[in-house]
Amino acid sequence: MKEFFGIGGFTREPNGAFSWQHITQVSFFVLLMVGLAIGIGIWMRKKEYKTKNRVIIISAISILSFEAVKIIVNCIHSDNLVKTLLWNLPLFLCSIQLIAIPVAAFCRGRLKEGALDFVMMFGILGALVGPIGAIQDYNAYPAFCFHNIVSAITHSISGFTSLYIIISGMASVKKKNAWISHAILGVFGVLAYIVNVICGLSYGGNIFDDSPNYMFLMADDGTPYTIVTAMVGGNKVLYPIVVMLLFVLYMAIFYGIYFLVRHLRAKKKALLDE
């Protein structure tokens, strides 16, 4: 258990990014996530909305519980509680689901619909890109350890919820609610950048010795955002702007494909009715 939680440091060497251990672990959680989403989604598809929503509630409680345990363990390991808490804020794109899923589960009206749309769009993206692209984690820790396992679980809950919303028929995706998803992204993006800047101003050991780099807005840190770094030639101003624009572009593409498919299905149904 000491080795699993890394108490006193790991005796095992990190397996490394894209090692067979990394790929096997990610593949297992992706298959589990997809299988559960399809099975439970189909089972719930004809249930009433209130019953369907119970699965979202379970997802919300589960992801918050695992995240709470992670923070507690990190605090136990830490010699600087303030830094640890600042480094565990839900300001990464994937961790925004810690807020979005509970909002989708417990709120009502357009706010609930907008949160469902956001979870549906970014949950599956984070579940696939997050663990696969977690180069820094698998280079720093053994694959089978608390840090990587909990990360895989929370990402998988986000992906499961995303797929479940689609398969169970809970998605509404209304054009009038598109601004809510954009607002969620915008607010968290601004907050992430502000926290990064504040912590970065302390760089050099005055308060902290590094920056959390939320949403990877300050640097790519070896993630697939290296493409953006190369694109802007390492420009510190253009880099975060392009990263946020890529999120907006992803949302535009998602909405475009969703509305196109819905239009084609409606057209096909109308032809069959004739």
For residues 84 and 160, what is the distance between their CA atoms, to the nearest angstrom? 28
CB atoms under 10 Å from CB of 41, counted, come to 20
Residue 54 CA to chain centroid, in angstroms?
21
Overall pTM > 0.85:
yes
| pLDDT tens track, the chain, 274 positions | 888 888 777 888 888 989 999 999 999 999 999 999 999 999 999 999 999 999 999 999 999 999 999 999 888 888 888 888 888 899 988 899 999 999 999 999 999 999 999 999 999 998 998 888 888 889 888 999 999 999 999 999 999 999 999 999 998 888 888 899 899 999 999 999 999 888 876 554 444 556 788 998 988 877 778 899 999 998 988 999 999 999 999 999 999 998 898 888 888 888 877 7
d(CA 263, CA 243): 30
pLDDT at 209: 55
The pair of structure tokens assigned to 262 is 């819905």
- pLDDT, residue 268, reads 84
* CB within 8 Å of 34: residues ≥ 6 apart: 159, 163
Is 159 within 8 Å of 35 (Cβ atoms)?
no
Burial (CB count within 10 angstroms: exposed 0-12, middle 13-18, buried 19+), residue 42: exposed
Pick from 138, 125, 166, 151: nearest CA to 29: 151
**CA neighbor of 23 nearest in space, from 158, 124, 159, 134:** 134
Q: Are 21 and 134 in contact (CB under 8 A)?
A: no
User: Any idea how long the chain is?
Assistant: 274
Q: Is 51 helix (H, G, I), strand (E, B) or coil?
A: helix
Residues 198, 11: Cα–Cα separation, whole Å: 35
